[in-house]
A and B are shown apart, each in its own frame.
Chain A
């Protein structure tokens, strides 16, 4: 019993040290966001703001169109997420339940796309999107990402775990595949959809290289590009930059708080049993 409590104390201690390592950058960001310019530029660096200077937030909102950036990112991530869910579910259903010639080969083809790092395709994709006149548009930002092999595997995995008796019963009752797909397979795989949705949303919210390449005007910029512009702009006042970061972090943190339970376990399932 004593040994157990020693190890328990050790676990708390290690967790606390690790938590400080993880949280410290967040804390510096948050506290600076509430500091005055003089405070945030002071030496030695301050760990606590003297008061809650909320005017940093209005300051950053007034100087750069951060709301527009957040809105752009929101549109882009949502469109990609919904598109991914639709294309993944459809393909996954075909691989899980339909018989068709060349199934194994096409499945292997899908599998192989996981081996292609996206960066390898970035030059031709840039040229393609440019030749279509899609630079600086939502289409250019979203269409290349509307399907992922990971999503197809994850959903296929969920479909294959559905009770077989249920599927059979539906078919004997004369349900067509489209009805089984819409009324049975998809609604029963909500946990999978949620996992894929949270993962895809966070991933594309955080996208950096592609938006950097295809957006040039301020009104199309996503939040990640907008944020990295903060440091190049004339205001290197940390308090304003950090207030901007807090505004940007907020949506993803809320998303994480709501979706963490889904991500744990869900991602692992898709990663390993595909």
Chain B
């Protein structure tokens, strides 16, 4: 057994440890600064992202509106009377209260805590108002929360009361319509021109009259109260709720009139529901998986809606909304992890370079210590003590700063950096000390020299092959499985082990690129040397020789190329997300500004559009009728796409002159179609339900449905994927006049032109949408991280360049001094020095950004950026050439500065001292 193995106690020489620390305080402090800075970034980024993810979940649920509500309904108890009629049930409101309490109990504690108090609602069937030429519908509704219904002030008449004083009444099935009293909002009452005591002229779907009477006119105490969201028609008429061109009105029931409402319609036509709106502030990313799972369980446990029993039947999109939010969070988390992995890889390489510099400075001291008899374990232990103190204390400072700057701190990502800082120096130093006690003579035997070279080559090839294999595996995994968690229930903010490989793909790709360049650079340098040897200029020869001599140095090129490529990738990522948000805003708004005209002002839309078109700075104005969830039949299937009825030519011009994608298929909407009477339509569908070539039918109130023929693919309108576009003139010819409710406006004056139109309309500005998307928690966080990572990586690259120059300085000036002993003039020496420093920098400046662009092309797809930008498809990589050029210029400028500065510093050194140091 070797002697050192038998020793159980290390003989540490503390004065040496302190002395080395004092002598090399500069490099040690630099190492500490790098570790502290990266620990700060790596420690703060995950908690900041987690906070952004929580905000994003809350934001998503808020934006989802009623889609994220949890809804439960159950059939009523049958109301068959003893004499073959229907019995009036006076305690119907109390039954509803019991139903609400039962539903609340079924939620479970976690879900209950994440939801607002429930609101029970009873909805009557959609009835048709029979007094107008335009299709209008009516529905009576009862709302009751834990504290009763929403507060209203009765402006005229009184709250709805019971129709009969005798509560227990039985009425025959075929009797006259049972009267029911409702209240009308003042807006609805004005629109219908009805008042207290009037009967609302309505018929049911089978054309039978229904007896609905107005007891009073009310004004909501707080129109923003959550209960009203369940039935917005109780506040004002709602256009398009029951199909294109329709307007829905609603009447408010009371506890007293609810029993009459049941008798006023057929037995199974009054639906009772309880709705739970989520409380966004109570939601966190951590809780999303459990909550979504609970919602799914409730839905799975629901009885069938066709069963006549009174079991609870749950409906909700909350699980989907939460999963979508969680998926976006997972994507953002993975994207951030990819960036962090890149930063950490670059940091580890820079720390290796710093350790290399430190050990080069210390080699004489370590060699002397070794030659004086110091054991390698003792030297290694001394170096480890020093590096551990530096690394751990620097990381502690960085993490403490992270704790102060962020809502928490994550130490996981700092571990590789601390390890690299603690281990690299001692490893290199121990090897240097070991070499000092080895026979350094070049073997006289040529075969022995060849064997040494072959062994070195084999080692290097093995390492390169390992990196290459890991990179290929990482890219294959990334492209095949992506970065999202496979297990939907495991969709949390913690990165799972199976994600480590794909997350490392970018960093490994950068390393492979650097290794390829490391193989090519010596070949290029040797080629340049061969060319220089043919020239008569000695400087060219010595410069090229110096370049060829040092071209194989591994760490400097690895650091330069990796940091530059990764910084370029971060810039490309940031630019792609930024552009994606802009495209997403175009897609959402459809122009620079959009006016969503209220139902009561639709008639004024054409005149309004003409006024806007005449405003200064307005370039284009396009009018359309946009109906969300329009009812379109495909054979016997009801589809609810967004129906866009528009002047095709104007719409095409709008697309052609804006950042919106062109849609050449629009010309097919106005192309003559001999033979068929079908109206041509373009269709777009996320799930394939709408396909080119399929026949469609657009139902209307009066007359047969209009037949549509899907003749091509529609562009996305308003960011929606399920779209049907029809030419306005063609639809009018087919008998359905257009009621324009949307105005798209482009031009620098668009925003001013659509403001203060004097028409009841919602104004949506592209600039506002873009601003909102930019400050959205996840996108803002990721973009900020991308820019920060780019800056940190560029700084690491420049630091790497400086360290590489410093690490090679001693050897370089030895060579230059020897050349000066051959007669090289001092002023020529700097050109030879440039021969060493410039080639890797030039190669990096050219190839680093290109490698970054290649990595972006390979990885941006699987990164699922569309989940953040809101685009329909994965965005193509946007190359910010001026920023990439800036990275290259920064590197070249740094190299151009290093050479003269180093020359100026070295000029003071006597040649004899340089040569003596080398010997």
- Is the pairing of A and B real? no
